[in-house]
Amino acid sequence: MHQASAFGFFSRNRVVNVDVVIVGAGAAGLFCAGVAGQLGLKVLLLDHAPKVAEKIRISGGGRCNFTNRDATPAQYLSANPHFCRSALSRYTPQDFIALVQRHGVAYHEKHKGQLFCDRSAEDIIDLLLKECAAGAAGGSVTRWQPCAVRQIRYHDGAAAPDAATPAAGRYEVDTDQGTVHCHSLVVATGGLSIPKIGATDFGYRVARQFDLRLVEQRPGLVPLTFDGAAWAPYAQLAGLALPVAMETGSKKAKGLFLEDLLFTHRGLSGPAVLQISSYWQPGTPIRINLAPEHDLPALLARAKATSRKLLGNELGQHVPSRLAEAWVQQDAAWQRPCSDVTDKALGALAERLSRWELVPTGTEGYKKAEVTLGGVDTRDLSQQTLESRQPGLFFIGEVVDVTGWLGGYNFQWAWASAHACAQGL
């Protein structure tokens, strides 16, 4: 009986020999498969999910922010911030843009170098599938999906497995569609974000099996939540969005972003918060300037000298009026005509709005996080090829302890790490 696949046919339940098995048909796995196939390698791509690249499909609100024109290592978090430099410099945003143009995918720049498909994220998935279908010099990509991996065994040269095992395979991968032998094994199973579309800890388990180190994982690019009672005064602001400056962290790892903030019923979201969340450590504060474009002390001093309006109304000229109203309700000293408010109360209001400090109780977790921070420790990986200390075992994409900012950086890491790996297979 034959297993139909996207690009070829393999017999079910018999031993199969390929050069490379790639586990995970997401962004990194698909791209790595396409490049490796075109370099002449016989590739088998496996994914336990029924649909290919589901995360690409839902990314960027369905339009996939596929890269950032200005990506540099400075926009990535890792225990070793220099690790990503090599792969990122050898496969750049311009390289991926050229590929997108070759495939005739229409795109546009939205904000701060972020490139999105004009039509749909499906265009990027089609591009990757076409690259997989374009194997050259005897190379090919076969995809088994859905297909789960049950067990991985490694044989070094000295200890050959049983007589039936072809000599070429250092790895034996037992899948629910038979056993596969391969020279190289690439783990591209991503992080823990959005379990309902197939995220698992598979990559971390494989790393542990081969005694590779892990950096602790936590959700990143994720909304922050606050204690119910403490948040009650702000819950009325749910749905309000405004540009802010936001910061958190120590001198060593400080995040500072000028982006939009969104109030929600449970806490804070929007691009500023998602960015900051990757730098936030539990128990520590975040600081928000709610009026970063204004010199509030000067504006309020002028209002005191010239205006008879209520302070809340005057403030509403400079920040959204819902925010101004909710703010002045916090102190009776602020609920007066501007000219009657004391200098001390005005100073306290300006300080509170421009340095609002609060301690989140947590995050919305992996069900809402766009990425997973931490992962396979880069100390155990080659920065040239992403091969681990375990010969022939590679890790690419989000499973590695390299996490980008919001804005196309994570896909750029997926493409760049996949490309570097394919050259090293």
Go through 220-229 and write b for each residue having 16 or more CB atoms within 10 A of its CB, e for each that does not: bbbbbbbeee
Q: Which of 23, 105, 268, 310 binds ligand FDA (CB under 6 A)?
A: 23
Q: Is 377 in the site for ligand FDA (CB under 6 A)?
A: no
By C-alpha distance, which of 130, 76, 102 is closest to 413? 76
65 binds ligand FDA (CB under 6 A): yes
The closest residue (CB) to ligand FDA is 26
CA distance 19 to 119: 36
CB 18 within 8 A of CB 180: yes
Nearer to ligand FDA, 126 or 227 (CB): 126
373 forms part of the interface with ligand FDA (CB under 6 A): no
8 Å CB contact between 363 and 222: yes
Q: Which of 139, 190, 255, 375 binds ligand FDA (CB under 6 A)?
A: 190
**One residue of 16, 21, 22, 27 binding ligand FDA per CB under 6 A:** 27
With contact defined as beta carbons under 8 Å apart, do 8 and 140 qualify? yes
Residue 310's SS3 state is strand
Residue 249's H or E segment, with its range, is strand 241-249
Of 217 and 410, the one with the shorter C-beta distance to ligand FDA is 410
The residue among 206 and 346 lying less far from ligand FDA, judged by its C-beta, is: 206
| Residue range at the interface with ligand FDA (CB under 6 A); choices 14-22, 190-198, 269-277, 286-294 | 190-198
Binding ligand FDA (rule: CB under 6 A), the pick from 55, 183, 218, 318 is 55
Residue selected from 105, 128, 141, 188 as contacting ligand FDA according to rule CB under 6 A: 188
Site stretch for ligand FDA (CB under 6 A), options 87-95, 130-138, 265-273, 392-400: 392-400
Alpha-carbon distance of 149 to 215, in angstroms, equals 24
**What DSSP line would sit under 17-33, residue for residue?**
EEEEEEE--SHHHHHHH
Q: Which of residues 193, 264, 269, 385 is near ligand FDA by CB under 6 A?
A: 193
Among the residue ranges 59-67, 84-92, 223-231, 330-338, the one whose residues contact ligand FDA (CB under 6 A):
59-67
Q: Tell whether residue 202 is a contact of ligand FDA (CB under 6 A).
A: yes
3-state SS string for 76-123: EECCCCCCCHHHHHHCCHHHHHHHHHHCCCCEEECCCCEEEECCCCHH
- Closer to ligand FDA at the Cβ: 27 or 41? 27
Nearer to ligand FDA, 48 or 304 (CB): 48
Q: For residue 12, what are the CA distances in angstroms to 55, 146, 175, 180, 412? A: 28, 13, 10, 11, 35
Q: Does 96 bind ligand FDA (CB under 6 A)?
A: no
Instruction: Tell me the C-alpha distance between 286 and 277, whole Å.
Output: 9
Which residue lies nearer to ligand FDA by CB, 65 or 78? 65
Residue numbers at the binding site for ligand FDA (CB under 6 A): 23-29, 46-49, 55, 58-60, 64-65, 148-149, 188-190, 193-194, 198-200, 202, 370-371, 397-399, 408-411, 414
